[in-house]
Structure 1
Amino acid sequence: MTGQITRARLILLAVFTAGMTTLAIEITAARLLGTVFGTSNIVWANIIGLILIYLAAGYFIGGRWADRSPHADTFYRIIAWGAFTAGMVPLVARPVLRQAAVAVQALDAAIMAGSFVSVLILFVVPITLLACVSPFAIRLSITEMREAGRTAGRVYALSTVGSILGTFLPVLWLIPTVGTARTFLLFSLVLLVVALGGLAYESGIRRMLRYAWMPFVLIGLSVLVLEGPIKDGSLYETESSYNYIQVVENNGVRVLYLNEGLAEHSIYLPEEGAPPYGYGTWEMFLAAPFFNRPPFELDDLKRVGIIGLAAGTIAKQYSDVFGPIPIDGWEIDPEIIRVGREYFDMNEPNLNAIEADGRWGLQQSEQLYSVIAIDAYRAPYIPWQLTSVEFFQNVAEHLDEQGVLAI
């Protein structure tokens, strides 16, 4: 009796962990692809749609597999291979993503599309195998037909609870702390431990040792493959709750890239004596005060607001050209602010860097501005919340009598 209870508990633990890992893979896959392809609705639709196809296939295969081989040993071997192949995804995807990053910069649509499809295909095996777990667990857990419904409900409930945990853990903790690839590996290793423990219990230590190489291979390959940045010239890269952040320096120009890296979000010339206004597109923001309603003198430039502060390029230009006027800059990602201070010398004493969404932050501000600069429109996205009539009404309410909006 005790053995049956232990066996049942191990099966339910495996179901919970597999459910957690499956959703964690789906959530983390978006960030893995987002480093190159972005996180648009098209990317999300492809990820969710294909994973649903893999899940449907896994449920079908798992049910038939369980009827043909209703053994716990088979159940745990399926989980072990599912966990191992899930851990391999970021390791195999890394070189593909390197090529995709080059293709994105060169606007090579064929390579971009091929890389995107190739990475998504990597999820076929792990997701399909993990989808086999629930129907297989139901088959193993049913001892009396009059309790079949209760057993199935318990299995799916535990799988869903695991999925809830797998949804929030990567987003709120693991991705910002250890990164996307290591998040894949952590969930894979946890699931592998459960699978190997189940194998040891059901089939003995010797049987389990046939699969004991799996975690060591994953750890070893991760050390070899995950070193090195995706972009050439990268000084720093990290992941936050909001973005994949890269600082790249080429030919004396330091650039901030986010996510797929199609747009330059901030630039900085670190060499001494570099002109403070050699900043390309950002130079146009310096013309904004000259569009203020007359009569207007530069002495009337009292305060500047920047929506989309990033690493502070606009703030640095205004401080260098117009002096230490008060500047409020809103940036939703606190990690970008930290990177700006460390790598882009965003340390102007007159700059008030505010960690907040630009729309909400401006709405909460009690200040009036001579210039409000919106630097949040970047390819391939324009944030819709910064394009509404209500937003521009809010901007107008925060401009002084002679104030101007610069986009």
Structure 2
Amino acid sequence: MQKLEVFGAFKLKGQVRISGSKNASLPILAGSLLSNKKIVLKNLPKVKDIETMLSLLKSLGSKIKISDNQVTIDNSNQNKKFASYNLVKTMRAGILVLGPLLAKFGYAKVSLPGGCAIGTRPIDIHLKALSKLGVKFKIYNGYVIAKASKGLIGNTIKFPKLSVGATENLIIAACLAKGTTFLLNCAIEPEIKDLVNFLIKTGCKIKWVAKRKIKITGVSELKETNYSVMFDRIEAGTYLVAAAVTEGKIKIQNIKPDIINTELNILKKIGSKITIKKNEVQITGSKQIKSLKIKTAPYPGFPTDLQAQLMVLLCKANKNSIIQENIFENRFMHVAELNRMGAKILTRGNKAIIKGGINFAPAELMATDLRASVSLILAALTAKGKSVINRIYHLDRGYENIESKLRKVGAKIRRLN
């Protein structure tokens, strides 16, 4: 099993080019199933979750051609409706093929999803919403078996709570439904906006009629499309924190700074110096890090996917800080490993109380999920000496070339088999 060896502590300096967004690419790949015409996607990140989704599309009958900087998808003979456990077990986003398969064929059998063990993340919101479009379903042997014998029929659906996955699944499904669908109380993450922009380019009729309300008029077929996926805002945030925590100076390139306004304002508040240009941000870390009380929240709030990374930074603050995790109920699994490195973090329910003024000590560590993995790297970058991070397969699900990107800005990090 592979592991990472990290030698700290060095100030990171240089430039990092941010990859395409994993969390935008996955629903866009699922949405490509709606079309029988050629689709060319650019700026997909080279990460494990994307490989898994492409394998899932191939298993459903998509023809996929991968060249250096683009993926071409041909669904002209795509006719399978079964998404197996083997392909969905490692990746939550596998459930997103349910909507397009139902829209296209009126039938789908899709395994219940896997992914990081950070909370229950039930799919009941997806299923109840799809049932309002005329879907009948049962869960049997770990699979969702869903039918819409008369095809999908437009309706007005209000989500009981904000759900990124359910919003994406229903947007995709409603594109081929008969009539008009209104989706209310939608999640508005930038990745959802990117999915909508992609679908509009294929000929789908989608309109934001209010901040969290979408109108979708069903169409019968889509057209050929070329589309470039947005940047990965979580990867961008991770490298911003890497600069801040090592008192370094990094230019983050290939981004749209206004999308990560919340994160930039928080980093300014705790003492980092930030210069914003059109498609890049320069950050200079400060010796004096200010403490913070923060809650994770749906966009445009502070993202749960950056909570573990920010926690590492707050261990260096001048006073105690508090993070309240409001999205997932099991997302403090990195705390035990950070405490082994000398952190003093106490968890009470969904709150973490973080003692400031900590100098991390090197240690042998175990990654528990995707974002926890990268938080351990950030802590190791500040610890004098050698740290070893085990179980890094989580990391490869969401970060493209993380070692080489970090090495380019001065980190001493290598992968061991």
Report the TM-score when normalising by structure 2: 0.25
Q: Which entry has the higher C-alpha Rg, 1 or 2?
A: 1
More helix by share: 1
The answer to which structure, 1 or 2, has the higher relative contact order (CA under 8 A, 6+ apart) is 2
